[in-house]
Amino acid sequence: MKIAVLAPVAWRTPPRKYGPWEQVASNIAEGLAGKGLDVTLFATKDSQTNARLDYICQKGYEEDSEADPKVNECLHISHMMEKAHEFDIIHNHFDFHPLTYSRLIKTPMVTTIHGFSSKKILPVYQKYNNHTNHYISISYADRNPGLKYLANVYNGVKARDFTFRKESGDYLLYFSRIHHDKGTYEAIRIAQKAKRPLLISGYIQDKDYYREKVEPFLDGENVKYVGNSGPQERNSLLGRACALLHPINFDEPFGLSVAESMFCGTPVIAFNRGAMPELIEHGKTGFLVKDVHEATRAVADIGNIRREHCHRHAVSKFSQEKMVDAYVDVYKSVIE
């Protein structure tokens, strides 16, 4: 079985810092290669992988000021599709764009839907929802009733990238992109009401939001922005936090940092939206709350959560190995 994994090209695969879709594509490709399967990763030239690497874009367009995003995307997708005949199956992590090639090639394609950026993209998913395309959801909460899905496969985390810690520090952590959807401001309010220090780490996606809702509260002591952290800093920040705050303002499809936090043993306090009930065991690996007030009360109860249970829960549901095994079953069912 020859497998092509099509990663996005906004960032390197795996990303140096931010880039959740690239990270999941990497975890899958590395897991498949580790099982001895014949896998080719289509990503940027500077990507790192134990699989075969094929590319046409030198760097991620978010890291290359000279690049035009649309041009890079077109070149990247077409480059892979022109080699489609070399593979038994294509695993698409590039959203809806590659679907438009599916009737022009014979190789079946599995598409992991990492979320719907807008309802406006649904017509593309609906048009190509047929026997040549097979959709995978990353949570049952994110399934669209108008689409047919072959399976649900939760995102998997590379356990060796995260250190389980029995003890934690006293700070709360916000680890996500800086954006209203992710609730950076709500995390600040929770920390202030709970009278706990807050560390904020993440890619500043919305600069106006950062200036208006985050920067005025940064004092370097009670509320501190530590930048867009890479893997080593991420492991330390997550592992030493007493809790991860995840007060989302949208129905999130998954939430990779939630699973990563639990791998470190760190419980999560999240607004009860989207996939959060599928990730968090309320009262056992964290708390599902409805607003800032409930989240503040949950901070006071965080000591009742056993960090060992958080870790075991994450390993049992969100490991790289479990995800890869599930995708291999998907590939076999499609090919057969």
Distance from C-alpha of 190 to C-alpha of 209, rounded to nearest angstrom: 18
Interval 82-114: pLDDT, tens: 999 999 999 999 999 999 999 999 999 999 999
The model's pTM: 0.95
| CATH for 159-317, options being 3.90.550.10, 3.40.50.10490, 3.40.50.2000, 1.20.120.160 | 3.40.50.2000
pLDDT at 137 over 80: yes
pLDDT of the residue at 49: 98
User: 95: number of CA atoms within 13 Å, CB side?
Assistant: 17
Confidence at 322, pLDDT banded by 50, 70, 90: very high
Average model confidence (pLDDT) for the chain? 97
Provide the pLDDT for residue 304.
96
The count of residues in the chain is 336
Domain-wise residue ranges, the chain: 2-156+319-335, 159-317
For residues 87 and 39, what is the distance between their CA atoms, to the nearest angstrom? 9
Q: How confident is the model at residue 132 (pLDDT cuts 50, 70, 90)?
A: confident
Rounded distance, CA 333 to CA 327, Å? 10
Q: What is the pLDDT of residue 131?
A: 74
Tell the CATH superfamily of the 2-156+319-335 domain: Glycogen Phosphorylase B; (3.40.50.2000)
> What is the mean predicted confidence (pLDDT) over 256-269?
98
Mean pLDDT over 254-280 rounds to 98
Q: What residues contact 309, with CB distance under 8 A and at least 6 apart?
A: 284, 285
Domains 2-156+319-335 and 159-317 share a fold: yes
The answer to whether 60 and 44 have CB atoms below 8 angstroms apart is yes
CB-hemisphere CA count at 13 Å for 194?
29
Residue 292 burial (CB < 10 Å; 0-12/13-18/19+)?
buried
Contact 239, 162 (CB under 8 A): yes
Mean pLDDT of 258-282: 98
pLDDT digits (tens, 9 = 90+) for 140-192: 999 999 999 999 999 999 999 999 999 999 999 999 999 999 999 999 999 99
Q: Measured between alpha carbons, how far is 270 from 280 in angstroms, rounded to an integer?
A: 8
329 pLDDT above the threshold of 80: yes
Pick from 201, 204, 199, 198: which is nearest to 175 by CA?
201
**What's the pLDDT at 196?**
97
Q: What's the pLDDT score for residue 130?
A: 83
Question: What type of residue is 268?
Answer: V
How many Å apart are CA 44 and CA 64, to the nearest integer?
11
Residue 23 in this model has a pLDDT that exceeds 80? yes
How far is residue 97's CA from residue 125's CA, in Å, rounded to a whole number? Answer: 9
Q: Please tell me the distance from the alpha carbon of residue 311 to that of residue 285, in angstroms, as a whole number.
A: 9
